[in-house]
Amino acid sequence: MATHTPKKFMALTSLEGQSLGKYRILEPIGRGGMAQVYKAYHPQLDRFVAVKVLRADLVEEKEFLARFSREARAVAALRHPNIVQVFDFDMQDGLYFMVMELLEGDTLKAYLNAYRINGERMPRGEMVRILVDALSGLGYAHQAGIVHRDLKPANILLNKHGQAVLTDFGIAQIVGATQYTVSGALMGTLSYMAPEQGMTGRCDARTDLYSLGIVYYEMLTGKVPFDADTPLAILMKHVNDPLPLPRKIDASIPEPLERVTLKVLAKQPDDRFQSAGEMAEALQAAAGEAGIEVPASFTLPLPAIRPQAPAGPVEVFSGTSRRKIADAGFAFADTDTTLKEKLAREKRKQLDQEDNGFSDKISTGVFQTLFKPPSDLPDEIIQPRYVRQAALYGSLTIVLFNICALWAGGIQGWNIYNRAWPMELVLVGVLLSALMASLAIPWMLIPTGIVLFNGLLLGYFSLTGRWAHWRLLWPLEPLLIAASILGAFWLSRQKRAGRWASRRLGLFLLLLAIVAQIAILVTSAVLSVLGR
């Protein structure tokens, strides 16, 4: 592989007529989520090749060059009739590209599209042949330690020799996460992605088999088993929903073929086939049991699409209106390089919808402004923080105020404790409200509210001397206790938003306690000076 120092990113919408290394770019022949594919010509060898140019916006990280060289070299070492041959890989002017054999034929996706539009199914013998070919190439790659990560009909080419050939080996590995990175990126096509890959990004041979199992299911039934309007909804169906039985969709599907889908599409990797060879044997055995003849190579002409003139006006869907399409997912089969970000946004939005419902019930005004949670709640906002500082400063406040009261009594002769003894409860309220704000735990409202408001209530009686008012105000006691307990339960049901509100409420109570404590201390001192 020749090496070049990147000069700049080529600002071209198409490379037609340009040269990349030894290859003259002729015309674009395909495009996916991660790369553009061109037909090119090598004049020295007098042969046509396919050149896959990776998207420039996906290769800006510092470690990319080393990863590209490492992974591309491993993919280029694969030599198998059912894996597209990689001849070369290089970089020029900031463009990373791989050179592979140019195969005549079309993708399995194109065949499935044609059958689907015509309302037909692929002959089952040809279907089994295609899958066995794909499993042969897949098993070879797995033995070499390479996992595909993005198997789908668009990455299975059916060539003119009647062979299924796997393409795009290593591309997801090159662009996304590798065993050498920790964070990595989640990318792929969720309709074909195994649950563990979508949830954790973890991939192995059984992950590829699950993806091929989805392809198998689509070949049998004409559609993928799990589809929805959003990426997160699709992922959750892979994780939680039972597999729709193929024979309920098409009763003509032989039961032995259905058994293979149930095995390969198990939610847990340990319950699936453990190798490509094991799945190929099971598939061939199922075909034999069902009396299906599997040809040595398929002779599958691309079905002619029979267009039908619409009987009435044709409705055009664009933008958000595409959600009206019953099988909208069928149009979104490209590899998605932003799945990690999309899933994170959807999860955050879902949590906000669940947790922020209480904000709509809060009355308008200053209280709503202070306690209405933001539209996005980052985790760091609701995590415990400054707990040690809250405990330390709260305890120091108790000690400091008592020292001041003792000093005033000993030096100035003011009998602070005569009337200000409820300040001890308020001081404990300072500590508890500080801990409530730092921990962001709704249940802290129970001790904080009971202690603090009892301190304020008793402070009123002690400073004013109007203990007779207790006969009128005693109902406040059970009301304050009930309000503290019910408020804690209500906040806890708001989940994330409740924790955010608990922190705000703790800060509010802390300010109230400090102001009340100063007021009690000053009032008691004034009354002592006046001799009252």
Confirm if 281 and 272 have CB atoms less than 8 A apart. Answer: no
| Residue among 11, 3, 6 nearest 62 (CA) | 6
Confirm if 166 and 154 have CB atoms less than 8 A apart. Answer: no
Question: DSSP labels for 271-296?
Answer: GS-SSHHHHHHHHHHHHHHTTPPPPS
Q: How many helices (H) and strands (E) does the chain have?
A: 20, 9
CA torsion 379→382→388→391, rounded to 10°?
180
Please state, in angstroms and rounded to a whole number, the distance separating the CA atoms of residues 352 and 495.
10
| Residue among 355, 370, 363 nearest 505 (CA) | 370
For 7, other C-beta atoms within 10 Å of its C-beta total 9
C-alpha 438: how far from chain center: 29
Please state, in angstroms and rounded to a whole number, the distance separating the CA atoms of residues 489 and 367.
20
Buried b (16+ CB within 10 A) or exposed e, 154-179: bbbbbbeebbbbbbbbbbbbbbbbee
Give me 483's structure tokens. Answer: 């309000």
Using the structure block, give the residue that is written with the tokens 């922020």. 356
3-class SS shares of the chain: helix, strand, coil, % to 5: 55, 10, 35
Give me 142's structure tokens. Answer: 């797995």
Provide the 8-state DSSP code for 332: -
Give me 256's structure tokens. Answer: 């032995």
100, containing H or E segment: strand 95-101
Confirm if 434 and 506 have CB atoms less than 8 A apart. Answer: yes
| Residue among 103, 155, 101, 147 nearest 130 (CA) | 155
For CA atoms 278, 279, 283, 289, give the dihedral sign: positive
Q: Which one is catalytic: 150, 208, 336, 352? A: 150
Active site residue 336: no
Residue 532, beta-bridge partner list: none
515, containing H or E segment: helix 496-529
Confirm if 218 and 194 have CB atoms less than 8 A apart. Answer: no
Please state, in angstroms and rounded to a whole number, the distance separating the CA atoms of residues 395 and 410.
23
**Which residues belong to the active site?**
150
